[in-house]
Structure 1
Amino acid sequence: MGADAAPTTVTANASEDGAQGRIRAQRAVTDTLTGPERGDGRVIAEDAAAEAGESDDLRTMATTVIMVLGLTVLVAVAGVATTASLTVVERKREFGLLRALGLGGAAVHRMVTVECALYGVLGGVLGLALALPYSWLVVRVAETSAPFSVPAGQLAAVLIVLVLVTAAAGMVPALRASRTAPMVAVAGSD
């Protein structure tokens, strides 16, 4: 395919650390691999400590992304709790009517909790539907040697935790809804 038979990557360990050791190692490797009889080439010396620094930068970036994601989840859970509280306030007559028709307080509590859990399911499914194509696109555009893979087990675990957390966020509003008296439906009109 037009590529030379010469090696393209050589790993060498310098006899001393630092810039001087790197320069001496680069000269030795350059003298060994290049020259009039072997063809011209270019040798780039990299320091192992510099590679560790790049790894630390990547680790810091990953930690930052995870922290921002955690903050986003907390805001979403607060949003679900707020939405559920507003739903209970706005649907007080509906809950009173359901109680008057014979639905027990525990059933009303379950109904509101399941509704909040469905918010989590909907958010998780929409998040995955948007995140997977964009993640594939980032890997494709970055032209990394890493293959694109979907950690299905971890994503399923996160989705389950999200549903449980959103259901828990709706517990207090659900408790308030379950205590709605049946008389509220018949009492004053809005």
Structure 2
Amino acid sequence: MPLHVPPAPAPALRTVLTALASPTAVREARTPALLCSQGPATPELPLPVYVLDEITPAGASATRLAGWRFLIRCGERAVAAAETRLTPDGWVFSHFFEGPYITATERALRQADTMTQHYQPRLLSVPALYMLTLWLHGDCGSDGTTGHPAATDLLVPLAPAPPGIAAHRPHRVAELLPVLTHRVTPAPLLGSPA
């Protein structure tokens, strides 16, 4: 298996397990698939979630670790996800959710698992484009809490991807970052009206 999934911080996992055991937390989540699921719900595939806060015209980016996401499996499939976030007091449960990114994440992980090169999977969110990618980081020895996208790392846009960006097609960071830079850079003003 070429994917080296980093272990989530133990306190982050505990908060998800506590939320899953709380009927109130599950009921208030308003995730129909989680409410209707039969059998035990288990958190799997913890992935660190990074946010790409800024893309400069030069292409430089600033990323930060925003939390850990766990796919919630009931039986044979993931039906929801749970997200945790880091606060000054430590890791806390944030929320449950469902939607297209659950199946898109599973699909991208299966696709990445067939590659020959070894990677550490992460998620990279690009809020300026309403975009989420599977980030395949080349430093498999990292604990998942540090690092920036290297030029040779891969980004796999998850469906639904922004118009003009193919979902589930791996791109080297060096190839995709200029496209993202172009998308988020405002067009220059051509002068004032006469």
Say yes or no: TM over 0.5. no
Structure having greater relative contact order (Cα 8 Å, sep ≥ 6):
1
Of Structure 1 and Structure 2, which has the larger fraction of its residues in strand? 2
Band of TM-score, shorter chain: under 0.3
Of Structure 1 and Structure 2, which has the larger fraction of its residues in helix? 1
